[in-house]
Structure 1
Amino acid sequence: MDRLSGLDASFLYLESGAQLMHVCGLIVVDPATMPGGYDFQTFKEQLSGRVSDVAMFNRKLKFVPGQIDFPVWVTDDEFDIDRHVHRLAVPSPGGEREVTEVAGHLAGIPLDRARPLWEMHVLEGLANGKIAVFSKMHHASVDGVSGSNMISYLCSLEPDAPPLDTSAGEHLRAPSDLELFGRGVVSTVAKPWQLARLAAPTVRTLVETSRRARKGTAMAAPLTAPRTSFNGTITGHRSIAYTDVALDDIKAIKKAVPGATVNDVVLALSGGALRRYLMDRGELPDSSLLASVPVSVRNESTRTGGRNKVSSIFCRLGTDVEDPLERITEMAVANAHAKDHHSAVPADTLQEWAEFAAPRTFGLAVRMVSDLRLAERAPVIHNLVISNVPGPPVPLYFVGSRIDALYPLGPIFHGAGLNITVMSNNGEMHIGAIACSELMPGVWDLIDQFPIELEAMKKSVLG
């Protein structure tokens, strides 16, 4: 067995019928590159051969009696690929809008917790002859980095080559309820000592944050975001849209602005696209939108357990700044302060505090936020989540088919009904957006602004 960390388990506790905590991905592949040609049954059999022995794909949850401790992962000895890989056809004419219509519907369906927490849907009938694979994996099982590592089990550098990673995971035995209950009691008894141990570093973090705030070098503060139409109580309905921009253009802009990073350019691009979208709707706030940006602490963490090793930085997106060069320049300075501030916080802080997550407390809190519609009354914590995930710099082949695009899509939350995720892949920057359909029915209207804003940025920065 493998016990979930508090942070892993919190994604289970935060989930509801509206607030779904799985991470999605839309992979567009060219079946013409598949040796012997594409056939769904062959595709499924090859996929089964790659995942059936890998713990990431064949483990399922076992809950502790009375939920006095976090669940554990155990190997599903009845693993059946037919429960996880499905075949669908997109409606005619099979364009991007039809693909995202099907993907949005699938994104709004919870995963079955009685089985390994992942699914793949092979979408056929695309007008361009390609195939889209829509994947879902629960956030309790992966974060951004480990989710990217999933690709290594499924992809290769050549069409007929073995996957990049062929290592099989260990068999995770299923403990008895009595053993789980005993372990839960021991874990519960130890929590007061764990809490006492956290007090000192937490106080130091608060003091350091106060000092930085006085100097003006702290990261942007949560609960200071302006309200927009996509900041409210979400439903279980999802809308998806995507686009591509050239990675070379992003790098050229980054090189032209002293101190800027690729991530700064991505955030400034997102801010500019959001500014255009909100202006078109007559909804642009006077103050800048605030984004929560997940940050991996995998390299700094001293904790050995758990699948999620992440923290977060809050960044203003400069939606109140018209000139793209001015926006990127301000963002480069602000983000440098935010990164410095973040590095001063112990890497395991969020993970250690999450060890005190209680399923009933979290579940009650989610229901209260939804039922009382608190997301529409309380101050806005942040407007949206933006992630920038580094991807492969060379072509990859997914079960023999060349990957033409890969759009990761993260979860959305009550109060923040939009998630934008960017991933680089073989010289392209793939941008995916997922939103609550009721709060942002025109997610394509937002995504269509990205290429327009990139041209404006090139003109402003590069001349």
Structure 2
Amino acid sequence: MQQLSAQDASFVYLETPHTPMHIGSVAIYDPSTAPGGFVRFKDILGFIEARLRGARSFRQRLVRVPFDLDHPYWIEDPEFDIEYHVRHIALPKPGDWRQLCIQTARLHSRPMDLTKPLWEFTVVEGLDNIEGLPPGCFALVSKVHHAAIDGMSGVEMSAAVHSISPDTTPPEGDDPWKPENMPQVADLLARSYLNNLVQPMRVMETIGRSLPGMGKLAAQVGKGDVSVRNARPAPRTPFNGKVGAHRVWDAVPFPLKDVRAIKDAVPGATVNDVVLSIVGGAMRTYLQGRGELPKDTLTAMAPISVRGQGEKAALGNLVSAMVVGLGTQIEDPLERLRFVHDEAVNSKALTNAVGAKNLADYSQLMPSALAGLGARLYTRIGAANAHAPAYNCVVTNVPGSRVPLYFCGARMVGMYGTGPVFDGMGIIHPVYSYGDTIAISFTACRDVLPDPATYADALRSTFAALHQAATTRPAIAAPPIEVNDNKLPEKKKAATRSKGDR
């Protein structure tokens, strides 16, 4: 048995019938590279079953403590059945992109069974009419509960069922996995009693570790090195209220070389800054078209992995976060990118001052029973409609493989992401890079984004405007370095004056 951290358990407590808390992906494969040029569902079942040992999440199920007196536990599921977790459907003709988007949204909107291992793979056949793809492709729509993985640890799960060659030979050696018996209620209650006894010491330890960072942050704010402007609530938008039970999904891929060309137009900018600027421009375009664009900048929460080298295979979430302004108040695309870059630099400085790991550890102080009760009450009374949001959306970047990957011998030709939405945050943008492309996907509540194709077009037009500006206009110069002449030694003062006289 292994107990969930408070951060992992929070995703269990946040789960309601309208807010399933799973993340996932939509991978598309060309079966022409597989043995015989095709892939049967029977082949896929055998392929996955032979590789279950590659990730612990595959066969671990959740056991909750009575009345949520303590955080749940993972155990090796004694009733594991792979055919429950791997499903098979097909799109009706013509099998186009719009049909795949609708089917993905339907699959994603359904909550998972929390009494079984928290993952599902759905093979979707019939992708015969998608531009740029050969007929006969199939998709693998995955769902994994956020309590089990974060974006980075989910890479382990993906790596277990992918290879860098079409070879389908199963791994060598015996599978060492063994199921566990279900724990007794008395044992769970005894463990919760002992854990609650030591909780005050955990609180003091976490606070003690964060105090030096708090002092460092206060000093940096006092000197003006760091701004706390993003600590204020975000403006209200249609995306930030109570969400319904239905979802929409779409994804837009971009050439990675063009994204890098855009970032080079602003000194110091990163690929992440470009992605945030594209999202900001799309939200500006979409909300402006509805006449609902706020005057202040919208903000995005961007998760930060605090997973160390020795924690790559660890279950659950090891993440902190930063909040970045998206520059939605700025029309000029390159000026928006520079604004986003400055916001990201400032937000990283804020997070680094306290320590991303320390910020993540604060989640361990959350009382389990109160957390679950608070989440359910928040949803029931519709509290998200009564206060300003902490941020307007989520943008999470998951780096992918630069080399081709294969699943059951079929070559992956596209990789996109899905994510959860919840009351107060009705849209999330998972960003996946694969090969020479980077794709911005979005999952949203259908009530707040009834026209996903319009938003996808806004992403495309924003990217086009950014790319045109970056490649046709002079690069934005870096801000000049100010020299305080009073702090220079006499020899350097003379040299500075001498250069100025030339």
Q: Using structure 1 for the length normalisation, give the TM-score.
A: 0.93
Structure 2 CA distance for partners of 1:108 and 1:233, relative to 1, 3 Å: same
Letter in 2 for 1:144: G
Tell me which residue corresponds to 1:447. 456
Counterparts of 1:358 and 1:172 in 2: how far apart (Å)? Answer: 30
> Among 358, 380, 383, which residue is 1:349 paired with?
358
Structure 2 residue 20 is matched with structure 1 residue 11: no
Query: Percent identity over the alignment?
Result: 35
Structure 1, 41-50 or 319-328: larger mean CA deviation: 41-50
* One-letter amino acid matched to 2:259: I
Aligned residue type for 1:187: N
**Is the alpha carbon distance of 1:270 and 1:462 closer, same or farther for their aligned partners in structure 2, counting shifts above 3 Å?**
same
Match of 1:133 in 2: 140
Indicate the residue corresponding to 2:477 in structure 1: none
Separation of aligned partners in 1, 2:221 and 2:343: 12
Query: Partner residue of 1:98?
Result: 99
Residues 304, 138 of structure 1: alpha-carbon distance in 2 compared, 3 angstrom cutoff: closer
Q: Which whole-Å CA distance do the structure 2 matches of 1:358 and 1:44 have between them?
A: 40
Contact 2:57/2:315, CA 8 A, preserved across alignment: no
Aligned counterparts of 1:11 and 1:400: Cα–Cα separation in 2: 34
Of 322, 330, 355, the residue aligned with 2:331 is: 322
Matched, 1:338 2:347: yes
**Which amino acid letter does the alignment assign opposite residue 152 of structure 1?**
A
Determine the C-alpha separation between the residues in 1 that align with 2:400 and 2:160.
Answer: 15
User: 1:118-139, CA deviations, whole angstroms, 9 ceiling, x for partnerless residues?
Assistant: 0011111222321111110000
Q: Which residue of 1 aligns with 2:426?
A: 417
In the TM superposition, what is the alpha-carbon distance from 1:370 to its structure 2 partner? Answer: 2.1
Q: CA deviation at 1:173?
A: 3.6
Determine the C-alpha separation between the residues in 2 that align with 1:310 and 1:265.
22
Counterpart among 175, 187, 195 of residue 195 in structure 2: 187
Q: What residue is the counterpart of 2:163 in the other structure?
A: 156
CA shift digits 1:26-82 (9 cap, x unpaired) = 111112222122211222221222126742201111223443221111111221111
Separation (CA, whole Å) in 1 of partners of 2:342 and 2:309: 24
CA distance in 2, matches of 1:222, 1:178: 44
2:363 is the counterpart of 1:363: no
* TM score, norm. by length of structure 2: 0.86
Specify the alignment match of 2:71 in structure 1.
70
2:101–2:250 CA contact under 8 A, matched in 1: yes
Specify the alignment match of 1:58 in structure 2: 59
How far does the alpha carbon of each residue in 1:324-368 deviate from its partner, in whole angstroms, 9 at most, with x for none?
Answer: 111111222221121122112233324432223334322322233
What is the identity, as a one-letter code, of the residue corresponding to 1:154?
A: V
* 1:246-265 C-alpha deviation (Å, 9 max, x unpaired): 00001111123211111111
Q: Once structures 1 and 2 are overlaid, which stretch shifts more, 210-219 or 232-241?
A: 210-219
Separation (CA, whole Å) in 2 of partners of 1:24 and 1:302: 21
- Go from structure 1 to structure 2 and tell me whether the alpha carbon gap of 1:430 and 1:206 turns closer, same or farther (over 3 Å shift): same
Q: Alignment RMSD, CA only?
A: 2.4
Name the structure 2 match of 1:23. 23
User: Could you tell me which residue of structure 2 aligns to residue 119 of structure 1?
Assistant: 120
Paired residue secondary structure (1:348)? helix
What is the distance in 2 between the residues matched to 1:164 and 1:428? 30
Amino acid at match of 1:421: P
Tell me, yes or no, if the aligned pair for 2:252 and 2:441 is still in contact at 8 Å: yes
- Greater displacement, 147-156 / 199-208: 199-208
Amino acid at match of 1:179: D
1:405 to 389, 394, 414: 414
Question: Is residue 146 of structure 1 aligned with residue 150 of structure 2?
Answer: no
Q: Residue type matched to 1:396 in 2?
A: L
Q: 1:368 to 1:309 in 2, by over 3 A?
A: same
Question: Which residue is equivalent to 2:389?
Answer: 380
C-alpha distance in structure 2 between counterparts of 1:24 and 1:201, whole Å: 34
Which AA in structure 2 matches 1:233? K
Match of 1:196 in 2: 204
Cα-to-partner distance string for 1:59-106 (whole Å, 9 max, x where unaligned): 111223443221111111221111101111223321111111111111
1:247 aligned partner: 256
Look at both structures and tell me which one has the larger radius of gyration over its CA atoms.
2
Amino acid aligned to 2:112: L
Instruction: Give the aligned residue type for 2:167.
Output: D
Equivalent pairs, count: 463
Decide whether the 8 Å contact of 1:235 with 1:438 is kept in 2: yes
Q: Give the letter aligned to residue 60 of structure 1.
A: R
Q: Contact (CA 8 Å) 2:416, 2:432: kept in 1 or not?
A: yes
Structure 2 match to 1:396: 405
CA distance 1:219–1:100, shift in 2 (3 Å): farther
Letter of the 1:342 partner, please give it: T
CA distance in structure 2 between the aligned counterparts of 1:163 and 1:335, rounded to whole angstroms: 44
Q: Kindly state the Cα deviation for residue 446 of structure 1 after the two structures are TM-superposed.
A: 1.1
In structure 2, the CA distance between the partners of 1:163 and 1:67, relative to structure 1 (3 Å rule), is same
Residue 270 in structure 1 maps to residue 272 in structure 2: no
Q: 1:152 to 1:164 in 2, by over 3 A?
A: farther
In structure 2, the CA distance between the partners of 1:420 and 1:7, relative to structure 1 (3 Å rule), is same
Q: Secondary structure at the match of 2:448?
A: coil
- The answer to whether the Cα contact below 8 Å between 2:54 and 2:160 also exists between their aligned partners in 1 is no
Structure 2: how far apart are the matches of 1:40 and 1:164?
20
1:236 equivalent among 232, 240, 245: 245
* Contact in 1 for aligned 2:54/2:156 (Cα 8 Å): no
- SS of structure 2 residue aligned to 1:144: coil
CA contact (8 A) 2:395 2:429 kept: yes
Where does the alignment leave 5 or more consecutive residues of structure 2 unmatched? 130-135, 473-502
Classify 1:62/1:246 alpha carbon distance in 2 versus 1 (closer, same or farther; 3 Å).
same
Q: Does the residue aligned with 1:107 lie in a helix, a strand or coil?
A: helix
Contact 1:61 1:116 in 2 (8 A): yes
TM-aligned CA deviation for residue 391 of structure 1: 0.7
Contact 1:152 1:164 in 2 (8 A): no
Give, as a single letter, the amino acid of the residue that structure 1 aligns with 2:348. Answer: K
CA contact (8 A) 2:47 2:168 kept: no
1:124 match: secondary structure? strand
Query: Can you list the C-alpha shifts for 1:111-170, whole angstroms capped at 9, x where unaligned?
Result: 111110000111112223211111100001000101122111010111115589999675
Alignment check: 8 A CA contact 1:156 1:164 kept: no
Return the letter of the residue paired with 1:44.
L
